Structure 1
Amino acid sequence: MANRRGNAKTREQSDKYSVLLPTYNERENLPLIVWLLVKYFGESGYNYEIIVIDDGSPDGTLQIAEQLQKIYGADKILLRPRAQKLGLGTAYIHGIKHASGNYVIIMDADLSHHPKFIPQFIEKQKEGGFDLVSGTRYRGDGGVYGWDLRRKLISRGANFITQVLLRPGASDLTGSFRLAL
């Protein structure tokens, strides 16, 4: 079946997913999130790379990432550290510059985004030929765990305001769990 991006069968075989993992003090979470990513990509058979963008974490996150690179291979775990904390948005831009995949997945390294949903993102994207698939905390299987009341209120409030002002039709504009072309 052909679509606007060429033959779907050929594209599917050559598709590669670059997962961007910005980190700052994620020493404890990084091994688990990487293991889960490797597990779900391995089970699904999709080609991938994980790009760790550490912003000078003082807790040794980069050293853990280096160990993970030795375990899983430099072709699967790419380290693109920065000397200091420069922010999430610029971390994503930095990661995109180093991505070799034709799709990019952005997600948090703090385990707030479960990698088990990535194969569902990919299938949804393929079914609809979408340029963007976004996870949501506020519909279906989504949710927030481990957040205090203040963080929940800020997230809900920001999403409410954007719904009223912009009427985008998306249920979670403040989340950062997305697959994009």
Structure 2
Amino acid sequence: MEGVQPEGVGDKYSLIVPTYNERLNIALLVYLVFKHLRDVDFEIIIVDDGSPDGTQDVVKQLQQVYGDDRILLRARPRKLGLGTAYAHGLKHASGNFVVIMDADLSHHPKYLPSFIKKQQETGASIVTGTRYVKGGGVHGWTLMRKLTSRGANVLAQTFLWPGVSDLTGSFRLYRKSVLEDLISSCVSKGYVFQMEMIVRASRKGYHIEEVPITFVDRVFGSSKLGGSEIIEYLKGLAYLLVTT
């Protein structure tokens, strides 16, 4: 793989992808991962929360194409929260590094080589994708959505001082042992989960690096962010302020 250092030999990457009604996106995501990680040892763990749209049927077809050792379907009966989806996927991960990413193509797999390269160059425990540094950005969002996201980050930066520019992003590479440690100490379940993870990582002194990414609003399906998530975010911010 272009630009990746030889010391990465022997590393394996487990990509945990939570899904709910992502039938239209999952095949393209998998194709793009295989395209951009040609010379990398990896597996994709799909944690589907009982999607009624046939997501699991598509994943089973993908297993026939790529092999069920590369595409692991680890389904759950219903929606149980993002944090628990990662914990569930982590139990089945055989890699020494874990990537968490969304299924809706908002996280383009073309960035994965730069995550891996950054980790190998710096020895970081966490590499997180950021929309808020030079080279990063957002595509397809309304001004209101941009302001909400930016405001959420500024609020958290002001109160929590985590030393990371994009707290609510959910495209990250972790050392498996670090992710296990962080998940065991996190209490948030939904939208706040990503913020709690990175704040706790900062408090524990883990080495965190950032890679600029362009976040693209979902191509198919509907966004799962609404007013209730914003309230949940503010509650989570208050909780972290008190407990970290």
In structure 2, the partner of 1:35 is 31
| Superposition TM-score, scaled by structure 2 size | 0.67
In structure 2, the partner of 1:86 is 80
Give deviations 1:84-142, integer Å, cap 9, x for gaps: 01111111111111100000000001111111111101110010110000001112332
Equivalent-residue separation in structure 2 for 1:37 and 1:132 (angstroms): 20
Given residue 166 of structure 1, which amino acid in structure 2 is its aligned partner? L
RMSD of aligned residue pairs (Cα, Å): 1.4
In structure 1, the partner of 2:136 is 142
Alignment partner for residue 11 of structure 2, among 15, 27, 31?
15
Structure 1 segment 63-82 matched on structure 2, within 5 A: 63-82=57-76
Identity of aligned residues (%): 61
Structure 1 segment 82-161 matched on structure 2, within 5 A: 82-161=76-155
Alignment partner for residue 172 of structure 2, among 146, 158, 178?
178
Equivalent-residue separation in structure 1 for 2:30 and 2:145 (angstroms): 25
Alignment partner for residue 52 of structure 2, among 44, 52, 58?
58
In structure 2, the partner of 1:3 is none
Is the partner of 2:37 in helix, strand or coil? helix
Is the partner of 1:133 in helix, strand or coil? strand
Alpha-carbon spacing, 1:150–1:54, altered in 2? closer, same or farther (3 Å): farther
Equivalent-residue separation in structure 2 for 1:33 and 1:178 (angstroms): 16
For structure 1, the residue ranges without an aligned partner over 5 or more in a row are 1-7
Is the partner of 1:135 in helix, strand or coil? strand
Alpha-carbon spacing, 1:25–1:150, altered in 2? closer, same or farther (3 Å): farther
Alignment partner for residue 26 of structure 1, among 14, 22, 47?
22
Equivalent-residue separation in structure 2 for 1:25 and 1:19 (angstroms): 19
Give deviations 1:152-180, integer Å, cap 9, x for gaps: 23321211111100122211010000000
Give deviations 1:53-76, integer Å, cap 9, x for gaps: 001111111111111111111111
Equivalent-residue separation in structure 1 for 2:14 and 2:145 (angstroms): 29
Alpha-carbon distance, 1:143 to partner: 1.9
User: Given that residues 19 and 49 in structure 1 are in contact (C-alpha distance below 8 angstroms), is that contact kept between their aligned partners in structure 2?
Assistant: yes
Given residue 136 of structure 2, which amino acid in structure 1 is its aligned partner? G
Give deviations 1:26-59, integer Å, cap 9, x for gaps: 11010111100011111xx110000000011111
Is the partner of 1:28 in helix, strand or coil? helix
What is the number of residues matched between the two proteins? Answer: 171
In structure 2, the partner of 1:5 is none
Equivalent-residue separation in structure 1 for 2:80 and 2:141 (angstroms): 24
Equivalent-residue separation in structure 1 for 2:95 and 2:18 (angstroms): 17
Given residue 17 of structure 1, which amino acid in structure 2 is its aligned partner? Y
Deviating beyond 4 angstroms after TM superposition, the runs of 4 or more aligned structure 1 residues are none
Given residue 141 of structure 1, which amino acid in structure 2 is its aligned partner? G
